[in-house]
Every structure is written in structure tokens, then in C-alpha cells.
């Protein structure tokens, strides 16, 4: 019996066949993915506007919308607002969402024009703290991750390229 085992004459287990995977894309098109990412990004900026309007409190509004890294960066700004007694008025206007890349499944990078011309930052006495030379528009390059249900903002950095704003 030992000899038969050594030469392989013992029946073996059948090969394991992995379960079939879905060949269907997560989104029907890049445009559909961009629309979902735009919705998630708008929710993120709306929450930031709300937090700044309240003087930097309740950053929990960003839970589920951003990565821990983006939250940490935003929290520094919120802390500054709390420390200085500032609050924001007005809302950020987002325009020109442009798809930079999409891997077809879980990572999307977009460009967006952020317009803060209607946003003011005031101190406790209502005096504006905005510099007269503040740019009113900034292009951001943002990466978003899709977890099967929604996009979350993973990075959100100013971009120096042209053509978005």
C-alpha cells in the first residue's frame, strides 16, 4: 500500500473550481460612475459648509463621507474655527466635474471647480476674516473609493492644472 501511495495510484480529490465571478461592471458607464461620485462629493462639501457655518462643531457629519485622512485634515480647519470663534456664511458652489480616471470598479479620480465667491468667514463680532486677494475659485483633484454601496472621498487636493474652472 505504501508503494501505491508513493507512486500516486490512490484516488485524489477532484480539483477545486472557484465560483464564477460577475462580469457585469459596477456602473453601466463612466458617466454613471462620475454622477455617483459627484453626488458623494457634493454631500461632502455640503457637510463641510454646514460644519463651518456652525463654527467648526459636529464634524461627525462627515462620517461615512470621507476617509480618516481627509477627516483629519478637515478637523484641523474646524479646530481653528472653534479656537478663533469664526463661522462661515454662504455656500460653496461646485462646477465642472470632470472624470480624470476610473478603474471600472472601485477607484475614481475627478477634477472639480470649487467656487467660494459667496462664502464669507466672520469672527464673533461679524467682521469678515477673508483676505481681499483670496481666489474665489480653486480646482481640486479628488479620489473617491467605491465600497459597493457608495463613494467616499479619499483625497481632496488643490490642483494647479488649467481648464476646469
Average pLDDT, integer, range 64-91: 97
6 pLDDT exceeds 90?
Answer: no
What pLDDT digit, counting tens, does each position of 113-151 carry? 999 999 999 999 999 999 999 999 999 999 999 999 999
- Dihedral sign for Cα atoms in the order 29, 34, 37, 42: negative
Average pLDDT, integer, range 3-19: 37
**pLDDT level of residue 162 (50, 70, 90 thresholds):** confident
DSSP state of 145: E
DSSP helix/strand/coil, 22: coil
Predicted TM-score (pTM) of the model is: 0.83
Query: CB burial class (10 A; 0-12, 13-18, 19+) of residue 80?
Result: exposed
Q: Classify strands 120-122 and 151-158 as parallel, antiparallel or unpaired.
A: unpaired
Q: Classify strands 151-158 and 87-89 as parallel, antiparallel or unpaired.
A: unpaired
Amino acid at each position: 500500500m505504501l508503494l501505491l501511495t508513493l507512486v500516486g495510484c490512490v484516488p485524489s480529490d477532484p480539483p477545486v473550481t472557484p465560483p464564477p465571478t460577475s462580469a457585469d461592471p459596477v456602473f453601466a458607464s463612466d458617466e454613471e460612475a462620475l454622477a455617483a461620485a459627484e453626488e458623494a462629493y457634493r454631500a461632502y462639501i455640503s457637510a463641510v459648509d454646514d460644519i463651518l457655518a456652525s463654527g467648526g462643531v459636529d464634524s461627525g457629519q462627515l462620517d461615512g463621507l470621507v476617509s480618516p485622512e481627509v477627516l483629519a485634515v478637515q478637523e484641523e480647519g474646524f479646530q481653528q474655527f472653534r479656537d478663533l470663534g469664526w463661522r462661515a456664511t454662504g455656500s460653496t458652489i461646485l462646477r465642472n466635474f470632470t472624470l480624470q480616471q476610473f478603474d471600472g470598479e472601485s477607484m475614481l479620480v475627478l477634477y472639480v471647480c470649487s467656487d467660494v465667491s459667496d462664502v464669507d468667514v466672520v469672527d464673533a463680532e461679524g467682521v469678515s476674516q477673508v483676505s481681499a486677494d483670496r481666489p474665489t475659485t480653486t480646482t481640486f483633484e479628488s479620489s473617491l473609493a467605491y465600497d459597493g454601496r457608495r463613494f467616499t472621498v479619499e483625497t481632496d487636493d488643490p490642483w494647479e492644472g488649467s481648464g476646469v474652472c
